Amino acid sequence: MKRITFLFFIIFSTMLLAQPEANYDETKIPKFSVPDPLTSFSGLTITDSLQWEEKRKLEIFQFFEKQIYGKVPALLDEYSFKVIEQDNNALGGKAQRKQIAVGLKKNGRTLNFNILLYLPNGHENAPVFLGYNFHGNHTVTNDPNVIITEAWNANSTDLKISNNKATEASRGVRANRWPIDKMLDKGYGLATVYYGEIDPDKNDFSDGLHSLFYDEEQTKPKTNEWGSIAAWAFGLSRAMDYLDNDTNISNVIVFGHSRLGKAALWAGATDPRFTGVISNNSGCGGAALSKRKFGETIGRINNSFPHWFSESFKKYSNREETLPVDQHQLLTLIAPRPLYVASAIEDEWADPKGEFLSAQHASKVYELYGKKGISLTDVHEVDRPIQQTLAYHMRSGKHDVTDYDWDQYITWAETFSR
């Protein structure tokens, strides 16, 4: 009897966990309609930007907040920052380097993270790109003075990280994704933070930012509260608190790749202080339409990364058709501020076409403000950027951040950031 129950248990749990094969065939995409950003949940048609702001934007925002990324549970008790290192002649004299320790306090508990900031010498009031890095601030440059993170780090043989700890061996291993010299030469600064200092990227809610906010006995966020992506977005806003008060900075464009692109989009939607937002290959739960179920799906992402979204998002696993919104509506929350969605043609897991369609369908909200986006007649040609207020490019090659991507971001940023 016991054995039969056990057998049933195994069969039943395998059925629950089984994920359909990822679909990469356009002809197998389910029939769906893209929810109209300009028709409210109760059926009201939105015709101008005032109506959009008063009648529609908030309900979309609240849906994403409660059902997808999760709410930030409360305010911090205290916030502090301290410049712990500074060199006005860094990188051969090109830049001022500052390393800033930020302290976040709640319920008597503290979380610290470091911002690495380079500002171009000779440019008094510079725009800055702010973006998380995946393995520590010291990985973005060979600069020997960048402090090595002590936070938990995902192991990687290629990136020379073992025992979940970064060491000198991984200095500069990701410099290829951060063309700092180029940014400085063009008069841009760079601010970067290791995302693992905000919340280690593992399915464990006992550590990181979430744990500061718990009541006694609480071990994880409540159903509608934040997952890791919302915590990372919150961290970007705390970095912004510092950057916003630095008189050498004119404005801040938030950038993110892949999972950190998802976080950058949510940061852009929740914090209007970001002048511009860049989503690089953010894919499922980022810029890509979920209802296409192409490549990574909600079921897959919730299964592989149960900690990324709010618990409430799990009810949409393998049930995309029941979602009253889609990811293009996340993009509309950033309007009318400049937004760049970038894909890579070989990055099928992130559904590049789904990202393009999402940018297209978000554009009607930009148009309400007299801004241009991607029109429904535009086509995505490889390596042919469409640079409007809402910009898009489909790069040749794989899931990555390349010089080509940064060249486009800088050219586009020149149109609004000074």
What is the rounded distance in angstroms from the CA atom of residue 282 to the CA atom of residue 269?
15
Q: How far is the CB of 18 from ligand GTR (least distance, A)?
A: 18
Structure tokens at 417: 């950031």
| 274 vs 308 by CB, closer to ligand GTR | 308
Strand partners, 340: 278, 391
| 251 vs 310 by CB, closer to ligand GTR | 310
Q: How far is the CB of 201 from ligand GTR (least distance, A)?
A: 9
Q: List strands edge to edge, sheet with 109-120.
A: 78-90, 95-106, 109-120, 189-194, 126-133, 249-257, 276-280, 339-344, 390-395
Output phi, psi for 306, to 5 deg.
-60, -15
In the residue annotation, 307 being an active-site residue is answered as: no
| 263 vs 269 by CB, closer to ligand GTR | 263
| 269 vs 284 by CB, closer to ligand GTR | 284
Q: How far is the CB of 305 from ligand GTR (least distance, A)?
A: 7
Catalytic residue among 40, 123, 162, 399: 399
Give the DSSP H/E element, type plus range, for residue 255. Answer: strand 249-257
Catalytic residue among 170, 258, 358, 417: 258
Residues forming the site for ligand GTR (CB under 6 A): 258-259, 283-284, 296, 301, 304
In the residue annotation, 279 being an active-site residue is answered as: no
**Are 256 and 265 in contact, with CB atoms under 8 Å apart?**
yes
DSSP of 153-167: ---BTTTTBBTTB--
| 189 vs 286 by CB, closer to ligand GTR | 286
What is the rounded distance in angstroms from the CA atom of residue 5 to the CA atom of residue 362?
50
Q: How far is the CB of 301 from ligand GTR (least distance, A)?
A: 6
Q: How far is the CB of 88 from ligand GTR (least distance, A)?
A: 35
Burial of 333 (0-12, 13-18, 19+ CB in 10 A): buried
Positions annotated as catalytic residues are: 258, 399
